[in-house]
Structure 1
Amino acid sequence: MEPPAEELPPVMMSRVFASKPVRKIPKLSKAESIHQLFRTPYSASSANHKKLTKAVGSFIIKEGLPIYTVEKTGFREMLSTFDPLYTLPSRSYFSRTLSPAIYQETVDIVKNKLSSVSYFSATTNYWSSIIKDPYMAYTVHWLTDNFQLKSRSLQVNHCPENHTTANIQVMLDQVLMNWDLEASKQVALTTDNASNISKAVTVQGWLRVQCFGHRLNLAVATTLKQSKEEIAPAMLAMKKVIRLFAHSHKKKRLLKEAQVTIQGKNVTVSSVLPTLMLIKTKMVAEPDEAALSSKLKKAVWKYMDDHFKPIPINQLYQKVSFLDPRYKG
């Protein structure tokens, strides 16, 4: 039996107390309190936990991040720093529970907005992923009571079937059904210039608006193909210019700045006729212009003019350009 501590020599006393574990009391900063030290983590059913979890899910979805972001050490440490009482749910919860719930909530909000729309137009196009899987996208456009243009991308469908006119009709009908949209309220549909999609839109009784950018690209490509031998030296020079921008960070940055400067906003069908007039003006042969240059310009303009003349689509362009306040006066 050990003698009382007060009877031990000083050296022995230090050994006795050194052998016993001493509880370290954390030092509190001015911003902390005893109450904070004893707070428990949020329960999964608490309002705070649900609010924070939904915020994390919305962030991942809106920024297009992979779900496994929630498993990354740095991401978890950041959230813990923001709020030590918050425990991040598992990856499967975000993929199987929260993401579908946020999607359905967003669908309901968009459906509610579209339910009061009198008429709408849409844009659809086919595109392929990096591994060549085909998809069809559908975006709806409408005007608010204050004449503000609104757009929402509703669906991107995987389309492994043959892109026949009949199959495209079925997919377009399915989109309208999924979003409770009436086919009679769709006044126009903008598409590329493929014959299958053009025919599908016509059969459905909708007005088809051809994509201006796609048509202009076809005009240039067709003209260059028809004059392949004549423009060979010019194409070689253009390739050198492209390589110059590809290998110069400074020139690439300047090009990007210039593109941002000239990029317009709210480019709509009302811009078609004014843009065509601008193209026609620029395509007029200038004095002392090279014969090849003049020939190419005329060919591009003829292609564009031939494809934008047909009625009733030309009448539509005239009406919307007349109503667009940007072209008054």
Structure 2
Amino acid sequence: MAWILLLPPPLPQMILMHINLKRTAAKLVREVSLVFFNSDTPLAATSARSQKITSAIAYFICKDNQPYSVVENEGFRQLLHILDPTYKIPVRGTFTDTHIPALYNKVRREIVESLSNAQRVAITVDGWTSCAIQSYIIVTAHYIDDEWSMKTPVLQTRAFNEEHKGENLAALLRDVCCEWKIEGKKPALVTDNASNMLLAGTLAEMKPHVRCIAHTLNLSSQKALQVDTVSALLVKMRRIVTYFHKSPKACEALHEIQTQLHLKHHKPVHDVSTMWNSSLEMMERFWEQQPAVTLSLTTRRVKTKGLPSITDEELTLLPEIIKLMTPLKVATECLSGEKTPTISIIAPTLAKLREDFEPNDSDLQVIFEMKEKFRQDFDTRYTYIQDLLNKASALDPRFKELEFLDDNNSRDTIFLRITAEVEEMI
């Protein structure tokens, strides 16, 4: 009957064994915690764990664009103390003088090596002004690595105190290419449509030089929105939106009426003068909330003296403007990708937008004028580089049939040119 010894113990005994095992494991965890996280024994700054945590903090500061002072913030220090009471955070100067420069040098070496293996490189250049009214130029590289992954490292964010002349910008471009050893890769250039940027590309002899399609759409859309009737409507909407942004009583009334009408509790959106799509977003939000906005302005507690009123004719026009401009918003979003190349999308997008903005007999007079303003500015923007854009589309499986071109002769010509270039390369 020795086989009886192989039977499991009775159920109550099994439960007791399980409980004892859990208690033993919990006790072991507590003992290990006391060994590794005893507040009386600070972690040595030279230990592997301490260095790993410090490196993670440096990465956090850089990756999330945090100020160096974050290491002095009480909440941040409390968080790290809870995670590991034995870790001592280095002082702020240690990060500024040692860890961040070391991380920069490490990343820089990796980018230099990655760039050296790239066959071709494109760079984008743009200028911006900080809140402290300091002018900067930012240069970004774009290339495909050995694993066919799109890379977009920022090569420079440089304070630029010189005059923003084409000559000075061209010198900066040459310096960047030399510093990062990409001048031999014949880098392509993408900038906005400013005359100084166009001159800089010419003087720096960077070809092809493609003008940013998103910036082009912004310029042409701004022209369409400058039609008198539309411009006057936008002025009225801005004043009403500004009132809601500044009046707590108006916002409270709007919130209550939104609840009554079962509308989403969205605040009116104010546009930015240099961004056409923000004007479209303002119109979309105004149209969405128009019943609530109108009713809230009629309540007694809201003082509307001096505020303009939107006429019925303007309200009828508003959805037509939104319908006309929405394809431009979609195009801008499609052409603003960071992780995938977008040059092959430009030609079919140009063709589609020209078709959408072709005037027809059913258009309202204002819509007709908007289309005319847009096309006058837009139609000639890419004639200088149309052949390159068509070839890029032909190499994209999505557009290789070149259906956006009007005739077969044009398609055949594009493929003959591509074939000739490939034969020359071989």
Q: Where on the TM-score scale, by shorter chain, does this alignment land: which range?
A: 0.7 to 0.9
Cα gap change, 1:224 to 1:67, in 2 (>3 Å): same
Aligned with residue 314 of structure 1, among 386, 395, 401: 386
Q: Deviations over 1:266-323 (max 9, x none)?
A: 361222112112211211224421123112202212321111112xx11111111111
Once residues 39 and 381 of structure 2 are traced to their aligned partners in structure 1, the CA distance between those partners, rounded to angstroms, is: 75
Map of 2:79 onto structure 1:
78
Q: Give the C-alpha shift of residue 184 in structure 1.
A: 3.4
TM-score by length of 2: 0.62
Q: Deviations over 1:99-131 (max 9, x none)?
A: 111111110111111111111111001111123
Cα gap change, 1:326 to 1:55, in 2 (>3 Å): same
Cα gap change, 1:232 to 1:197, in 2 (>3 Å): closer
Matched, 1:186 2:180: no
Once residues 141 and 217 of structure 1 are traced to their aligned partners in structure 2, the CA distance between those partners, rounded to angstroms, is: 23
Map of 1:293 onto structure 2:
367
Q: Deviations over 1:172-223 (max 9, x none)?
A: 1221222222x23134100011111211111222121101121122223345
Map of 2:289 onto structure 1:
none
Does the 8 Å contact 1:166/1:200 carry over to 2? yes
Matched, 1:108 2:106: no
Once residues 231 and 78 of structure 2 are traced to their aligned partners in structure 1, the CA distance between those partners, rounded to angstroms, is: 58
Cα gap change, 1:57 to 1:217, in 2 (>3 Å): same
Does the 8 Å contact 2:121/2:142 carry over to 1? yes
Once residues 241 and 154 of structure 2 are traced to their aligned partners in structure 1, the CA distance between those partners, rounded to angstroms, is: 33
Once residues 382 and 93 of structure 2 are traced to their aligned partners in structure 1, the CA distance between those partners, rounded to angstroms, is: 52
Cα gap change, 1:139 to 1:253, in 2 (>3 Å): farther
1:270-289 to 2 correspondence within 5 Å?
Answer: 270-289=344-363
Aligned with residue 265 of structure 2, among 237, 250, 254: 250
Cα gap change, 1:187 to 1:318, in 2 (>3 Å): farther
Once residues 168 and 82 of structure 1 are traced to their aligned partners in structure 2, the CA distance between those partners, rounded to angstroms, is: 48
Does the 8 Å contact 2:120/2:186 carry over to 1? yes
Residue type of the alignment partner of 1:100: P
Once residues 290 and 233 of structure 1 are traced to their aligned partners in structure 2, the CA distance between those partners, rounded to angstroms, is: 17
Map of 2:53 onto structure 1:
52
SS state at 2:125 partner: strand
User: Structure 2, unaligned stretches of length 5 or more?
Assistant: 1-25, 246-250, 255-263, 270-280, 286-325, 402-426
Residue type of the alignment partner of 1:217: N
Q: Deviations over 1:119-173 (max 9, x none)?
A: 1111001111123211101011112345432211111110011112221122112
Q: Pick the structure with more strand per residue.
A: 1
Map of 1:69 onto structure 2:
70
Cα gap change, 1:326 to 1:252, in 2 (>3 Å): farther
Once residues 191 and 48 of structure 2 are traced to their aligned partners in structure 1, the CA distance between those partners, rounded to angstroms, is: 46
Once residues 184 and 79 of structure 1 are traced to their aligned partners in structure 2, the CA distance between those partners, rounded to angstroms, is: 47
Higher Rg of the two aligned structures: 1
TM-score by length of 1: 0.79
Does the 8 Å contact 2:140/2:154 carry over to 1? yes
1:1-329 to 2 correspondence within 5 Å?
Answer: 30=27, 31-33=29-31, 36=35, 37=38, 40-181=41-182, 183-206=183-206, 207-225=208-226, 227-228=227-228, 230-236=229-235, 238-239=237-238, 250-251=265-266, 263-264=333-334, 265=337, 266=340, 268-310=342-384, 313-328=385-400
Cα gap change, 1:267 to 1:296, in 2 (>3 Å): farther
Once residues 374 and 94 of structure 2 are traced to their aligned partners in structure 1, the CA distance between those partners, rounded to angstroms, is: 55
Q: Deviations over 1:213-234 (max 9, x none)?
A: 2112222334544x44x54444
User: For this pair of structures, how many residues does the alignment match?
Assistant: 295
Once residues 95 and 131 of structure 2 are traced to their aligned partners in structure 1, the CA distance between those partners, rounded to angstroms, is: 26
Once residues 194 and 148 of structure 2 are traced to their aligned partners in structure 1, the CA distance between those partners, rounded to angstroms, is: 32
Map of 1:24 onto structure 2:
none
Once residues 179 and 151 of structure 1 are traced to their aligned partners in structure 2, the CA distance between those partners, rounded to angstroms, is: 14
Give aligned-pair identity as a percent. 29
Cα gap change, 1:327 to 1:219, in 2 (>3 Å): same
